[in-house]
Structure 1
Amino acid sequence: MPVKSLPLIALAMLLSLTIFAQNPVVKYGDNGLAGNYAPIKGFNMYYEIYGSGEPLLFIHGNGGSMKSFENQVAYFSKKHKVILADSRAQGKSTDTKDSLSYEMMADDFNALLDYLKLKQAYVVGWSDGGINGLLLAMRHPDKVKKLAATGANLWPDTTALHPFVYNDILQTDKQLLDSMKKSRKAPGVRNAYKVNHMLLVHPHIKPEQLHKITVPVLIIGGDHEAIPVQHTALIAEAIPNSYLWIIPASGHSTPVYQKDWFNALIDGFFTEPYVKIEGKARYY
């Protein structure tokens, strides 16, 4: 190899190292540089923060973690202070207590915002996170600037969950209960049962209770959702200042399989003022 070619090779190596340093592979949910714990009502809630700007809180679904939003962080952190958190008893937010409800988790997120000294935030919730977002807007209305909720339900039966989905959750519940009975010393199984069982006994939100939500809300669902379209529409209709977006050819995982639409539309919803479409405006 000619000696004069070595500087070019060295330069190429230096350039590639610089590019990697500027664009590292971020492990959301396991990033020591961005992560920390907040003491929240008897347990430590794990959270990570990315970017700067107006705060934006993401709330994940049942049995998941902040990793669920890996398709959203880079997009939204360009203009927002993105706050990811593992819900109580999920991810790194260990909670050994037996009780678990959506109301508890909504209050947890309120406490997290207080801990971070944030008066208000935009909120995106997926599945259980959508329920938590609705309850956060109901129980702590001053904390939510705008809410986007995808795949949320108001009660736990086959009118609010597709029968296949409900029966699948029920089957999982029985399997976890059997495993827990066989091995009482397995805390992981006990916790998994607690989290899954919540889907069969919570939430219990009446449509009229949603009337108290006054902030703009974007309700989202796939047209082949785990949540029937009729139920998703009922949620939107019960909220005074809401938009409804039903995504074609989509199931429950809208932030994953419809990520480009999902990100762009929510970004626009947060950026543009809410417009009440009434009267003759319905023709346009």
Structure 2
Amino acid sequence: MYIQIHNRKIHYKKIGSGKPILFVHGWGGTIYSLHKLACLASKKYTSYLIDLPGFGKSDNPPEHWGVEGYAELIKIFIEKVISSKTHYVGHSFGGEIGIYLAAHFPNNICTLTLCNSSFKRQNKVSKVAQMLKWIPKEKNILIRMMYPYIKKLYYTIIKKQSDLIKYPHLEKNFRKIVTQDLTSDTNKIHHPTLILWGELDTYTPVIWAYELEKNISKSILHVFPEVGHNLPIRYPERVWQKINDFLLC
């Protein structure tokens, strides 16, 4: 199914019947990323899945969009398609959108579930920069001049999975999003919130889960041992069990 929002075609799917739950995928995902999880939920609830702009079958977003642009689109989607408050489940970037939504548009959701959610940027120094640091200045003038090209080559050949390289049409959006820090927004959330995390996550480290638990007043945290970033994609049954128990409370 499709709906027009901000003159853009947005692809979504609806499964089951009952109270609504909206599932929002992470950066690079589609409605199929959380489809198994949504199908489990659809036995008791109406599950909604959406292709975020730029992914799946949805149109691309405007170049100036950051987290707030995506969140405002989700707000309109909830109002136009779901037409009531909804439970919200977000993975990674989908969780980041949920944080912004809960902080700025609290009347659109009733509960929030964050799975390995991003909400700020790790202070990492790239491996290329680390290597250049050890080259004496008097010997690496040419190399340092070529740094931007070396860096691009590194991400193109060695790190083919880089989000920036994989989705060049979203480069401006991605660069804006990764500079946004929603830490202050996490303190504004007063919805019942379930935080689910993979202990071995290297994209959104588990220390962030404990920070969210501290900042969000009505939150519950569960950390899954020996699991990485794709927790809800790889283990939908285990994730749904936790969400179902949370929603029954």
TM-score scaled by length of structure 2: 0.79
State the match for 2:169 in structure 1: 191
**Any stretches of 5+ residues in structure 2 without a counterpart?**
131-147, 157-165
Distance 1:100 1:210 in 2: 20
Checking the alignment, whether the CA contact within 8 Å between 1:123 and 1:148 is kept in structure 2 is yes
Checking the alignment, whether the CA contact within 8 Å between 2:37 and 2:240 is kept in structure 1 is yes
Superposition deviation, residue 143 in structure 1: 1.0
| 1:235 maps to which of 197, 202, 212 | 212
For the pair 1:252 / 2:223, whether they are aligned, the reply is no
| 2:25 maps to which of 41, 48, 60 | 60
The amino acid that maps onto 1:252 is H
For the pair 1:224 / 2:189, whether they are aligned, the reply is no
Superposition deviation, residue 158 in structure 1: 2.9
Which structure is higher in RCO with an 8 Å CA cutoff and minimum separation 6? Answer: 2
State the match for 2:101 in structure 1: 136
Checking the alignment, whether the CA contact within 8 Å between 1:45 and 1:85 is kept in structure 2 is yes
The amino acid that maps onto 2:233 is V
State the match for 2:37 in structure 1: 72
Superposition deviation, residue 176 in structure 1: 11
State the match for 2:246 in structure 1: 269
What is the SS of the residue equivalent to 1:154? coil
For residues 212-251 of structure 1, what are the alpha-carbon distances to aligned partners after superposition, in whole Å with 9 as ceiling and x for unaligned? Answer: 2111001111111121221221012100100111110000
The amino acid that maps onto 1:223 is E
Checking the alignment, whether the CA contact within 8 Å between 1:63 and 1:192 is kept in structure 2 is no
**Any stretches of 5+ residues in structure 1 without a counterpart?**
1-35, 179-187, 273-284
Alignment of 1:1-284 (within 5 A): 36-95=1-60, 97-158=62-123, 174=152, 190-194=168-172, 196-198=174-176, 200-201=178-179, 203-206=180-183, 208-225=184-201, 226-272=203-249
- Judged with a 3 Å threshold, the aligned counterparts in structure 2 of structure 1 residues 177 and 241 are, in CA distance, closer, same or farther, namely same
For residues 68-112 of structure 1, what are the alpha-carbon distances to aligned partners after superposition, in whole Å with 9 as ceiling and x for unaligned? Answer: 012212211111111000111111111263223111111111100
Distance 1:51 1:176 in 2: 45
The amino acid that maps onto 2:194 is L
State the match for 1:12 in structure 2: none
Give identity over the alignment, percent.
24
What is the SS of the residue equivalent to 2:207? helix
What is the SS of the residue equivalent to 1:133? helix
What is the SS of the residue equivalent to 2:89? strand
Checking the alignment, whether the CA contact within 8 Å between 2:71 and 2:98 is kept in structure 1 is yes
Checking the alignment, whether the CA contact within 8 Å between 1:177 and 1:193 is kept in structure 2 is no
Checking the alignment, whether the CA contact within 8 Å between 2:100 and 2:185 is kept in structure 1 is no
Checking the alignment, whether the CA contact within 8 Å between 1:56 and 1:123 is kept in structure 2 is yes
Aligned positions, number: 220
CA RMSD of aligned residues (A): 2.9
What is the SS of the residue equivalent to 2:110? strand
- Judged with a 3 Å threshold, the aligned counterparts in structure 2 of structure 1 residues 238 and 163 are, in CA distance, closer, same or farther, namely farther
TM-score scaled by length of structure 1: 0.70
